[in-house]
Amino acid sequence: MAGTRALLMLENFIDGKFLPCSSYLDSYDPSTGEVYCRVPNSGKEEIEAAVEAARAAFPGWSSRSPQERSQVLQRLADLLEQSLEELAQAESRDQGKTLTLARTMDIPRSVQNFRFFASSILHHTSECTQMDHLGCLHYTVRTPVGIGVPPGVVNIVFGMGPRVGEALVSHPEVSLISFTGSQPTAERITQLSAPHCKKLSLELGGKNPAIIFEDANLEECVPTTVRSSFANQGEICLCTSRIFVQKSIYSEFLKRFVEATRMWKVGIPSDPSADMGALISKAHLEKVRSYIKKARMEGAQILCGEGVDKLNLPPRNQAGYFMLPTVITDIKDESCCMKEEIFGPVTCVVPFDSEEEVIQRANSVKYGLAATVWSGNVGRVHRVAKKLQSGLVWTNCWLIRELNLPFGGMKSSGVGREGAKDSYEFFTEIKTITIKH
């Protein structure tokens, strides 16, 4: 990376070298709306170079022992940890998120993931069975599909989906694709990869419900649900965007929830007291605002946030992509705000009567990534969690992750799972070998 006229200039990283590109794209600082960086606008040529580098590096890297590869991952974790502040500053500026969040969650979680999988690869075992009557022994081995960290093992190619993305996913020598993003993009990836029968892991977001029963502990439930709705400006695939509250406590919950939401501070990312920063882009900000306009047109009530409360920002940040956390009520389940992923600081709060009713309503969307259930009744918690069509269900908490266990969604929220065992199986091919003696 090199600075030119105060702009950060990114380069592709291919075969262990930073390489310039013939064409570049502007990247904007979400907190100011100003161009701060230029990113390579790569295409087929760069993908070919990256695939060639990966192909050449694969035999040597894949033949390394698990212990050697574990040491490389641990070293990467060390380097990330040593550069935590620099990486947090870069992540905050690029994404618009608060520096506090980047410091305490994004970078530390990256370090944790490297350390977890560095340890995990040392503890996998293979299967073995024998057939004495036929004199045969069967066992399995797993071989890597992807690649890993000397020159050519990791290649980073920047660009837009229609150019560089399509060149990558349709390349015959790219045999596996892991993607996190929107459903329309995933559909295109599936179409392009189908002729090659590629392995796919697709994490496609959600329309995640929170179900709050009348015996919920509101002292814990309200602040946690504010966080689950608005953390990182609502730009987390696991954020809550539909809140179902049992009628007997609906008014009380709503009062407390709106009060707590109004306390959620929107500010410049470097402000240590800010709970929320800026949204990722101007186009996305306009998209999120369009849902609030649609809700108003449908007769819904906006209790706080966009168009209701005033957003105060320093003069330099007036053109940034900020908006206040917004709470919508009096909205029908059929509304686009209750069915489509908004991916912003917007949540809808609606009442319900019975357990059976709320399960049906929670399951009535095409997504099925995550859900939260709030209740003091252990039997109910287990019963409801089992019936919800969600890949993850948190009860009386949110965003507590265990990397050993599967992560992923049902229905249109994706294909496949991540986690110690699931990732190991996805990124390797299993082979059964039979020996007759």
> Which residues are identified as catalytic?
203
Q: Which helix (H) or strand (E) holds 141?
A: strand 136-144
Q: Which residues contact 24 (CB under 8 A, 6 or more apart)?
A: 9, 38, 39, 40, 41
Bridge-based pairing of strands 136-144 and 428-436 is: antiparallel
How far does CA 35 lie from the centroid of its chain?
25
- The residues facing 8 across adjacent strands are 3, 37
Dig out the tokens for 48 from the structure: 């070919």
Q: What is the chain's alpha carbon radius of gyration, rounded to the nearest angstrom?
A: 24
Q: What order of strands is seen across the sheet that includes strand 136-144? A: 128-131, 136-144, 428-436
- Report whether 336 contacts 229 (CB < 8 A): no
Q: Determine the Cα–Cα distance for residues 327 and 331; give it in Å rounded to an integer.
A: 11
Name which of 143, 150, 146 is nearest 57 in CA terms: 150
